[in-house]
Every structure is written in structure tokens, then in C-alpha cells.
Amino acid sequence: MSDQRECRGARFFDAVRAVHARQRGLPPLRALPDTGDRPLSFSENRLWLLGRLDPDAGAYHMPVVLRLDGDLDVTALEVALNSLVQRHDVLRTTFPVVDSEPVARVTPFRPTPLRVEQVADLAGRAAEIVAEPMDLAEGPLFRARLLRAGPDRHALVLCLHHVVSDGWSLGILAGELAESYRGGTPAAPAVRYADFARWEREALTGESLDGLVRHWRERLAGLPPVSAPPSDLARPARRGHRGGRTRFTLTGARAARLDEFVRREDVSPFVFFLAGLFALLHRYSEQDDLAVGTVVANRNRAELEKVVGCFINTLVLRVDLSGDPSFRDLLTRVHASYVDAFAHQDLPFDQLVARLAPNRDPVRDPVVQVMLTYQNANPVPWRLDGLDVGPLRVERETARFDLALSVREADGYRCALEYSKDLFTDDGAGWFADNLDSLIGAALDAPDEPLSRLVLTDDVPSSAAGRPLAVPDRLLHELFAEQATRTPDAPALVADVVLSYREVDERSNRLANLLRENGIKGGVLVAVHQRRSVESVVSVLAVLKAGGAYLPLDPAYPAAHLAWPLENAPVRLVLTTTDDRDGLPRHDLPTIAVDAAGLERRPATPPPPADAPDGLAYVLYTSGSTGRPKGVRGVHSATVNRLAWMWDERPFEAGEVCVHKTALGFVDSQWEMFGGLLRGVPTVVLSDDVVRDGAALVRSLAGHQVSRITLVPSLLHALLDAFPDLGDRLPRLRHWITSGEAVPVELVRRFHRQVPGAALWNLYGSTEVAADCTWFDTADLGDAATVPIGRPIANTSVYVLDPSLRPVPVGMPGRIHVGGAALADGYLDPDDRFRPNPFAPGRLYETGDRGRRRHDGTIEFLGRDGGTVKVRGFRVGPAEVEHAVLTHPDVARAAVVAVDAPGGTRLVCAVVPAPSAAPTPGELLDFLGRLLPAHQVPSAIRVVAELPSTPSGKLDRRALAEAGREAPPVPAGRPETAVQRAIAAIWGELLATDQVGPADDFFALGGHSLLAMRVLGRVRESLGVEIPFQRFFDLRTVRALAEAVEHAPQATNTDPTDHEGTL
């Protein structure tokens, strides 16, 4: 380490010598006669383009506002200002467009009177002048205004467009203005800016240019397109330059500590601040590969020292932060990156972007979005003889980048953070600046600590806590019994038949007595293998009344998938039906078909209480990162807390109707089964066939006048896509809940457009926390960049912690943990995700999700932590899918990754065949279809010779995901008819491909049932034909669907409430 520090200075001077050597090899820079219009320099070209993109923004204005106190000679000042314009013809340059190309044109010098204004508010009027637009084609691009507030009180406002000036130029102008004001005549520079512009174009050609391009192409290969923290606000469709600034300082003892540290480390303060900025961006973005921009004066020739103009160049500093380095190690990496960039600074940034980022995002800066500028020399002071001259601060409301940190040495270090107000709130930017200030202190305190363990501040609330709420001290079935006593004849469950509370109570009592006869009592586990129906709800109630806990087994899943829960869990008995019984895996457990159990012979009164001592209500299996599903022990108290919170937060009103549409194996079914049932509200139970068919689902919801629904965002997306008039079709459905996966902002906005007046809540949670632990009303979304998961529900605490279980500051990502009443009783098998809570009594659950606390107190979801992903609302462990693939005898290795696609997240699998084997993707997909539920079967399988690996030999999942996004092979043939072409276009848009042929299989291209629902909605909307959802599975190709459309009757508008069996 000491050797590295000792040679840092030497390496930097090697870089300086390399720059000077390259300059010596270039042609001489000479003054040339003026030949009229000239091409722009590379810096001018970039600033001209930026100025054209937003000509009224003023982001690229360079203001100098000076307070002038004393006896001002206005005539001398006017003469001095005119002498600047006469001496430096770049100040008289405009940039018109000739033959579609910008040119630089110098206008003849004409003395200009100095405009004087009488004002009361110097700073306010100065800000208005600075913000006035500048016309690049017409000019002027240098203007001066004198403001008078009194005989001896003035302000001089100078404003230059960045295309004709830079920071160095301002120093030249300051010195020359002072000399001219006192009657002197500054010497003219030996060359003009026009000479430099022509020389630069000639010098940067051939091998000189090619060598620089090669270096930067290698240096920046594979750089992620974004190196900025997550924004607070949604990035606008049109780039803007509204900006703000927040400041902090390091003075006194803190500045002295920094000076001593950089002296020992043999680095400059600039490198220190740069390392601090990289470290904070790493903590915010969780990216290991980041780039920050900085500027160099680009005046590497002595002839340019007195020339006014825009010379600066932007350097891209790329740093690898992998491996959780210490701050001291990061200094080494940052210094090496800076030295390398400095040594190759002669490639204009405009040329770098043109060659490395030709496909630019029009609303985002290319290559770098965060800048750091550093001023270590005192600027040339602005002085006028006989006057007290000082800066007059004018707050500018513009920003050039997402974030730009400027550091100035002045009695310590003065730091200013400029931020885009289109992306960051004042509070968000303030927290970023505060966190940077804290990180600098933490790095000085513990430079050898890994970056992830630097404690930025101790002044962080440990959690966001939900409000206290008194919750009934009852078990679920006790609450049902109380409601049945209150409203025995009211409708309870609605399907093909309507059951009253009395009937549900008696049926569940009869089955509970049968279960008790078969040994089911406190804490005993019963598997419920039934399709969603009135009888499945009755069965669940019966298990609870018998004192047992239920374990759902979905008959829609392959028998092989159901074998593990029966093997892993201590199940004592299976409840099924005669129709579902054959779908069970082989087992030797007692089995009862509830529809053939002779329940009418059992008592209709409840069995004696025999509740589980630990309050166990159910065991639900969820996908995990180990390759095997894990059984979660859900307890009555957590579910009752979740229900009671909703009852209190949004009480039921008269006439409401709930719906049960989720399989028993998913925790959202808890609210659907019990939310209305325990409060006297009828619950409609929908079959799988209805739920899968969007049109049938909407008809059922409308016909039964359902008022509340819970659904995953992908289903909501499909319904909005299929039914533009969804709000009109479902006028009674006023409370929508979305959960299970991240909700896109545009989906929320679209919902409120199509279902005006209805409430949409975003709930977050998991099986381990009784379904939901936070909530957010999307009516409060505003212009946020993402939809927050909100605040904790009642009696629940949510923590965002670092790897050492310390709370992280506002705005920074961490791992979401949950404590309080929402927690399950852990897993069937030991797991360290449930641990003692270090902040409060009880336990803490680590969700495996990443999030950050926002400055408004809500929590933002940032994604899964790598072990599991969400596919159409289902939690899926890629390791579990890989485990299934590897059971195929022809597969040697396999890897599964999640890929973001227009239709939602999908799974892609790559397999390496066993020796002498040649499995086909279709064969493997059929094999997995017999082992896994549909949502766990990959949408595509690629057979490869080897799995991609990183340089360290690890599986390169990023490369695997990129390969999974590749376009499918070109289809054999093209759509032949107008209907085929229309359908192929619909598929192509939803599947993000333009390669769709008449024989292509929708599901083989990556489609799934929710996308199929959207396809049929588009077909209805654009072709006027209604295709039943169930038929789509027989019409999987473009050709087959087109034939069905051509022979189908035109869709008619029917009354959405026309439905048999309504309440």
C-alpha cells in the first residue's frame, strides 16, 4: 500500500508529460488571416447543440454579477467593456446555420452603449437579466448591463454564453477589464480563438485521433448507460434544465483533517472528493461500475493562455467499485482512473460521444450524468480602481446535469450541489448533500472500513412505525362464528349457489366434527387439495374450527410439484374432492373427499375448542433461493391484524361485495376469504376459468356488483388494455388493491384515467408478513418517479437496514426488514431470516427486498435481492427452476435468469447438454411443464455449448440475461393477409419483436396468459371481434387466430351487468 501511495504523484506527472509529448507532435498553432465563416471547434459544437436543444433555459449562461460600491465612472466602464469585445472577436461571434450546418461568424466591432437601469432590487433584477434567452444565430452572446440602486451603489451584470467562454476566460476578462478601466491597454493575444478552432480540426486527424478513440473505446466498453442515483421524480419526456442548489462546507478542524489525510495518501483533495462522490453514488445506485465526469481546461499550449473562448473538455472517469473496497482502496482506484483519463484528455468529449454513444437518449446526458468540478486556485479578482467590488449572489434556477458537485478551496472547502429539479426534490437533493458530508467524515474516521460499513450518521430513525390499533383478541374462526350469530341469514358466499352465514357455519361445523373424529386437533396440519370454490372456503373454516392449520395444495399444479410439501410438512390428513383426487401425488395419508364424506350425518354444532397453542392457522409454501419451496407458518394474530387494519382504514359501507379470485396457496387469498366474510359482507367466489378470461372476469365483477378487488399489476394492466372503458363497465368497483409486484407509474396514471374516481392502493408484503405490511394510496403519487410501497400498516414496523443491521439514511438503499404484529411464526425448517429484533421486543424478518426511505416518510421498493424474482405476481426462485431442469437426464448444467420484457418479467433458461445428448427446447419445456406450475416454466430455453462466465470464473448472469433479450429467429414466411398482419403487429408490440410469422406459437415466443388477455382485448378493439379466452389456447398461431377472427361475428356491446346469479 505504501508503494502505491509513493508513486501516485509520479504517475500523475507521467500523464502530464504524455499530454505535452502528444502536443509537441502536432502541427504548430499560428495566427491566420480571417477568411469569413469557419467551422466550429469541438467544444463550440457541443455547446451549440446543447443550446439549440433548450434555447430558452439559460442553463449554459455564464453570469458574473458584481456589486460596485463607490464613485463609479460609467463612461470609463463603458469604454473598458467595449475594449474587451473589440480585442476578443469570439465575444462578437454568432453561430448561424448555413447549408444545414452551424458556422462561426464574427461580426464587425461597433461600440455599444452601456445600458443603465434604475432599480430597487439589484439581485432580483440581475437574476432576470441572467435568465434572458440568448439567440445563438443572432447574438449577442456577451451582454453587459449596469444596475443603479443609488449614486454610489451599482451592480454590473455580465452574461456570456458558454459557447464563447469558460472559467479560465472569465479570469482573463477580469484582469483586462480592470486594466482598461484605469486607462491601460492590455496586450492582444498572439492567436485568436478562430485560429485554435481551425488548428484543432486539422490536428485531430489520422493516427493521433485513432489512437485516442481506440483507448477510450476500450476504457469505456460495457459501461452502464446510467451512473446516477435513482431520481425522486419521473424523468420528463422532454429534457429540461430547471435547477436548484444546496451547499455545505468543510472548515476548521474538519478541513485540517482532510488536508492531513490527503497529504499522507499522496493524493489531491480533488481525488478525495471524487472518491467520496463515487462511494456515495455506489451506495445510492448499488452499481459497481460507475462513471463521473469532470472538466479540464484543455489549454495545453502556451499560445492559448490569454485567449478567450470555450476550450474546456469533459473527461469520463470510470471506476470499478466491486468487492466492497475500503475508502483507502477506492482512493487508489479513483486516482488510477483520473491519471489515465488525464493522459488521454485530448479527445474532445463531443467526438467521444459520437463514436461511443451514437444512439443517444434525448432526455439524458450521454455517458455521464453526474459531474464534479474542483477549483483549487483563487480566481482572478474583479477589481475597478476606486470602488469596493464584490460578488453579488444571484441564485440561478438552472441545472446542466442530473447532479453536479462543485468544490472550491476557500478557508477550507466550499461545496455546492447543483441538481435538476425535474428529477430531484429540494429535500431529496438536500439529503444527498448531507449524506455526502457525512460520508466524508466517516471516511476520515475509518478509511480502512469497507464502504458498505461506513456509518454516515447516527441520527436516523430506526424504523417507520404503523399507527397503534386495538385488534380483536380472537381467532379467525371465532370472528366468523360471531358474525354468523349476528347475521345468520345474510348471504355469505356466492357462486353457482348462495350460502347464508348459517349454512356456511353449519357446513364447516359438520366437516370440523369429521376432522376431529380423524384426530385433527390443536396444531395438526391438514392439506386442502381443492380448487377455489365455496367448498374450499368451508374446508378452510372447518380445519380451523377443528383446531388445525391448513396447507393448500393447488390442483392446477403438476402432481410432482405437490409432492414436496406433503413430504416436508407434518401433514396428518388430506381434504380433496372426487374431481381433484386423481391430481394428488402418491402418498399414504388419510384422504377425505369432502363432497362424498356423508357430512349430513355429522353434528351442525361446532366441536369443542382445541386451538393450537402457538396460534398456527396455515402453512403456505413459497419459492425460495435454495432450490426448494419453504413452508411459512402463518398465525391467526398476524392475519387478524391485517384484516382489522383494513376494516379500520377503509370501513365497509352498506351494499359492498367482496371477491375471492386467488388460489388458496397464495397469501392474498386470506383477505379475499376473510376480509368481507368476517364483517357481514358477501364474498363472490370465482372459478379459475372465469379469472383467466378477462371478458368473463369483468362480466362477473359487474354482474355481482363487486366493490373491492385485489389483483397483481400485470392483471390490472391486462384489464386496462382489454377494456378502455373499464370504469364504465365496473361502476360499483370503487376500491382496487394492487400487490405482488412493482407497480409502474404509467399503470397508475392509466388506471386513474380509465377508472376515474376509484381508489387504487399499492400494498406490499409477503407470505411471511400475513400478505401486507405497507400501503400507499396512489392518489398521492404526484410526479414521483416510482410508486412507493408507502407506510406500515397498524401495529407493524418497517426498517431499511445496512448489512450490519444499522438504519440507513433517508434516500439511500438498504434491505427491508419487518417487525411487529404482521410476522409469521417463521418457517417449518430453520432459517435465519427471522431473528431477534435489535430495536424492539419481538422478532425481525428480513424480506430479501431492497428499498429506501423517502424524505416524505414513505418507503420505495427497489427490487429483489437476487435470490427470488416476481413473475406475474408469483414469487419464483430461479434456483428452484434450475433444480427441476437438472433432473432431466440430458442436461449437464443449467442457469435461469429473469428478463424484463414489455409483457412483464419472464424467465429464460440456458442449458448445457450432457455428453452425447441433444435435448431440444420444446422437449425440455414439456418436461418442466410436468414438474412446475405454469408461472415457473421459462418462456424460452436456449441450448448452449457453455454458460457465460465472468473473468473470475463465476456465472455471468448479466450476459445470460442480455442473450435472453435477443430477438427470436426470423420466422419462416411473413403474414399473408390483412388480418394476419394486424394480429402479427399486436403480438409484435406486446412481445417486443418484429419477427412474427404466420406459424409462430404465441407461447413459444414468450407469451403467457395475461398477455393473451391483452391480445384478445386488442383484437376486440382493432378488429371488432370477440374471441373467447379459452379458445386462445387452441389458436396459438397467427394463422389460426386470424382464421377464427375472419369467421367470427362482429362483437356487440352488451350490458356489463347482464349476469346470471347476481345478488
pLDDT of residue 408: 94
Per-residue model confidence as pLDDT tens digits over 573-591: 999 999 999 999 999 999 9
Q: What is the mean pLDDT of residues 463-472?
A: 91
pLDDT of residue 203: 84
Q: What is the mean pLDDT of residues 184-200?
A: 93
DSSP 378: P
Assign 862 a pLDDT band (cuts: 50, 70, 90). confident
Q: What is the mean pLDDT of residues 835-848?
A: 94
pLDDT of residue 358: 53
Assign 946 a pLDDT band (cuts: 50, 70, 90). confident
Q: What is the mean pLDDT of residues 217-227?
A: 88
> E strand or H helix at 144, and its extent?
strand 142-150
Alpha helices in 151-268 (DSSP H): 167-181, 193-203, 206-219, 252-265
Q: Is the peptide bond before 140 cis (omega within 30 degrees of 0)?
A: yes
Q: What is the CATH number of domain 978-1046?
A: 1.10.1200.10
Per-residue model confidence as pLDDT tens digits over 223-237: 888 889 988 888 887
pLDDT of residue 171: 94
Could you tell me the CATH superfamily of domain 7-23+204-300+307-378+394-453?
A: Nonribosomal peptide synthetase, condensation domain (3.30.559.30)
Q: What is the mean pLDDT of residues 1010-1018?
A: 82
Q: Does pLDDT of 274 surpass 70?
A: yes
Long-range CB pairs of 138-144, under 8 A, 24+ apart, other chains included: 138/94, 138/96, 139/92, 139/93, 139/94, 139/107, 140/91, 140/92, 140/94, 141/91, 141/93, 141/94, 142/84, 142/85, 142/91, 142/92, 144/81, 144/114, 144/115
Residue 609's contacts (CB-CB under 8 Å, 6 or more residues apart) are 547
The three-state (H, E, C) secondary structure of 63-99, written as one string: EEEEEEEECCCHHHHHHHHHHHHHHCHHHHEECCEEC
pLDDT of residue 1009: 73
Q: Could you tell me which of 1028, 869, 1033, 1043 has the C-alpha nearest to residue 961?
A: 869
Assign 966 a pLDDT band (cuts: 50, 70, 90). low
Q: Do the Cβ atoms of 851 and 800 come closer than 8 Å?
A: yes
What is the C-alpha separation between 839 and 465, in angstroms, rounded? 12
Assign 279 a pLDDT band (cuts: 50, 70, 90). very high
Q: Provide, for the chain, the percentages of residues in helix, strand and coil under a 3-state DSSP scheme, each rounded to the nearest 5.
A: 35, 20, 40
Q: What is the mean pLDDT of residues 100-110?
A: 93
pLDDT of residue 1056: 35
Q: Does pLDDT of 934 surpass 80?
A: no
pLDDT of residue 699: 96
What is the C-alpha separation between 673 and 654, in angstroms, rounded? 19
Per-residue model confidence as pLDDT tens digits over 740-756: 888 989 899 999 999 99
pLDDT of residue 1051: 57
Q: What is the CATH number of domain 877-964?
A: 3.30.300.30
CATH class, range 501-613: alpha beta
Q: Does pLDDT of 1062 surpass 50?
A: no
What is the C-alpha separation between 802 and 309, in angstroms, rounded? 48
Three-state secondary-structure class, residue 423: coil
Per-residue model confidence as pLDDT tens digits over 88-99: 999 999 999 998
Q: Does pLDDT of 149 surpass 60?
A: yes
Least confident piece of the model among 56-60, 609-613, 947-951, 958-962: 947-951
Kindly tell me the burial class for residue 373, based on how many C-beta atoms sit within 10 Å of its own C-beta (0-12, 13-18, 19 or more): middle
Q: What is the mean pLDDT of residues 938-948?
A: 84
pLDDT of residue 579: 93
Would residue 213 be called left, alpha or beta, if left means φ above 0 and alpha means ψ between -120 and 50 degrees? alpha
Average pLDDT, the chain: 89
Give the end-to-end CA distance of the chain in Å, rounded to a whole number.
Answer: 78
What is the C-alpha separation between 308 and 445, in angstroms, rounded? 44
Q: Could you tell me which of 669, 682, 705 has the C-alpha nearest to residue 483?
A: 682
Q: What is the mean pLDDT of residues 785-792?
A: 94
What's the fold here for domain 42-197?
Chloramphenicol Acetyltransferase (3.30.559)
Q: Do the Cβ atoms of 245 and 393 come closer than 8 Å?
A: no
Q: Do the Cβ atoms of 879 and 748 come closer than 8 Å?
A: no
Place of cell 452499481: 287
pLDDT of residue 1053: 45
Q: Does pLDDT of 737 surpass 50?
A: yes
Sheet of 683-685: strand order equals 498-500, 491-494, 683-685, 658-660
- Beta-ladder partners of 464: 798
Please give the model's pTM, rounded to 2 decimal places.
Answer: 0.79
Same fold, 7-23+204-300+307-378+394-453 and 42-197: yes
Q: Does pLDDT of 351 surpass 50?
A: yes
Residue 589's contacts (CB-CB under 8 Å, 6 or more residues apart) are 527, 566, 571, 572, 573, 574
Domain boundaries along the sequence of the chain: 7-23+204-300+307-378+394-453, 42-197, 501-613, 877-964, 978-1046
pLDDT of residue 6: 39
Assign 18 a pLDDT band (cuts: 50, 70, 90). low
> What number of residues does the chain have?
1063
* Share above pLDDT 90 across residues of the chain, in percent, rounded to a whole number: 61
Per-residue model confidence as pLDDT tens digits over 700-720: 999 999 999 999 888 898 899
DSSP 655: T
CA atoms 831, 833, 836, 842: torsion sign: negative
Q: Do the Cβ atoms of 764 and 739 come closer than 8 Å?
A: yes
Three-state secondary-structure class, residue 213: helix
Q: Do the Cβ atoms of 89 and 194 come closer than 8 Å?
A: yes
pLDDT of residue 458: 63
What is the C-alpha separation between 391 and 157, in angstroms, rounded? 10
pLDDT of residue 624: 65
pLDDT of residue 1058: 38
DSSP 222: T
Sheet of 791-792: strand order equals 708-711, 735-738, 759-764, 774-777, 791-792
pLDDT of residue 819: 96
Assign 463 a pLDDT band (cuts: 50, 70, 90). confident
Three-state secondary-structure class, residue 832: coil
What is the C-alpha separation between 898 and 654, in angstroms, rounded? 44
Q: What is the mean pLDDT of residues 491-500?
A: 96
Q: Does pLDDT of 879 surpass 80?
A: no
Centre a 10 Å sphere on the Cβ of residue 753 and count the other Cβ atoms it contains. Answer: 11
- Beta-ladder partners of 742: none
pLDDT of residue 1057: 36
Centre a 10 Å sphere on the Cβ of residue 889 and count the other Cβ atoms it contains. Answer: 10
Q: Do the Cβ atoms of 1007 and 938 come closer than 8 Å?
A: no
Per-residue model confidence as pLDDT tens digits over 382-437: 999 999 999 998 888 888 899 999 999 989 999 999 999 999 999 999 999 999 99
Q: Does pLDDT of 1 surpass 90?
A: no
pLDDT of residue 386: 95
